[in-house]
Amino acid sequence: MSKPRILVARAIFPDIVDRLREHFDVEANPDDVIWTQQELAERLADKDGVLTTGSQRVDAALLAAAPRLKICANMAVGYNNFDVDAMTAAGVQGTNTPDVLTETTADFGFALLMATARRLTESEHFLRAGQWTKWSYDMFAGSDIHGSTLGIIGMGRIGQGIAKRGAHGFGMRVIYHNRSRLAPALEAECKATYVGKEELLRTADHVMLVVPYSAASHHTIGAAELALMKPTATLINIARGGIVDDAALAVALREQRIAAAGLDVFEGEPSVHPDLLTVPNVVLTPHIASATVPTRRAMANLAADNLIAFFDGRGPLTPVNQPVPGLRV
């Protein structure tokens, strides 16, 4: 009996590709070429499954061009690159990689918060440019983390991890806004208080975004929301590009309506809004919140596990939809 045919759409750890080869006929992409949608569709025309990353869009047109495709295993916790409704209607399973990146991403969120509040990027550029010639009392004076108020928008696993770091590690007052309120026991564990979105924006010294991207969350932070924030506040986005109106943020930063921002994700990434590149009070990183070797390996292995479990009949381990079984055979 022939093995299922799968595509690994981006370069991943070679030993994990070898592991997949034990179960599948694999077409890999070791050169990490970014294929167009047409090129991706051509490669998927004879495939039963695909291991994707956030850079592959799976929509109705792609599914129509890939009649054998039964599962798309995303190597990410987010899956806004999936048209989940179209996949479900077509009988195609989608999976993601939750949990394995929670703590690493929460670590990074806090690192980005600290770098932003303490103006690390600005001060390093200043030093490297040879401009440091003397001490001064206000040289790159930023804002405190300890004892300040942390506002978290999106209180899932990662948001809870950030809350715990802030409350237990830095003595921060933690407030949060979420689509639904946490159970009292979880609130107590995180030492977090639920508030409305406007109250959070008006009150927080540091606003952290950890909300999933959807049409409803597009531009959760725009000009109106930025206007509610304190002029001394910072904004941190480790969620997804599109949660923040990057153009409006660049204006607010330039006009010092907020103190600073730290961004790991961007609208239209890997492109970055050019105005963000010209303001000094922003820390910019290239979507690396989960980028440690152990975590990226765990993500790739979980995506592989989903493919293996699906095709050996156990079913997906971390599904994101429930397609009608048997639509694609």
5-98+293-312, CATH topology level: Rossmann fold (3.40.50)
Half-sphere CA count of 16, side-chain side, radius 13 A: 23
Say how far residue 281 (Cα) sits from the centre of its chain: 22
Task: Express as a percent the part of the chain with pLDDT over 90.
Answer: 95
Average pLDDT of the chain? 96
Pick from 49, 15, 41, 47: nearest CA to 30: 15
pLDDT tens column, 215-261: 889 999 999 999 999 999 999 999 999 999 999 999 999 999 999 99
Total residue count of the chain as it appears in this document: 329
218 catalytic, yes or no?
no
> How does DSSP classify residue 101?
T
Tokens encoding 258: 């907020």
- Which ranges in the chain are annotated with CATH 3.40.50.720? 5-98+293-312, 101-284
This prediction has a pTM of 0.93
- Of 172, 181, 120, 129, nearest to 150 by C-alpha is 172
Give the CATH architecture of domain 101-284: 3-Layer(aba) Sandwich (3.40)
Amino acid at 303: A
CB 233 within 8 A of CB 205: yes
For residue range 267-316, list pLDDT tens digits in order.
Answer: 999 999 999 999 999 999 999 999 999 999 999 999 999 999 999 999 99
- Determine the pLDDT at residue 329: 58
Active site annotation includes 287 = yes
Which residue out of 177, 240, 273, 296 is catalytically annotated? 240
Q: Look up 202 and say whether it is catalytic.
A: no
pLDDT in tens, 315-326: 999 999 999 876
Those residues whose C-beta lies under 8 Å from the C-beta of residue 222, and which sit 6 or more positions away, are 244, 245, 248
Residue 35 neighbours by CB distance under 10 Å: 17
Task: Tell me the two tokens of residue 322.
Answer: 């429930």
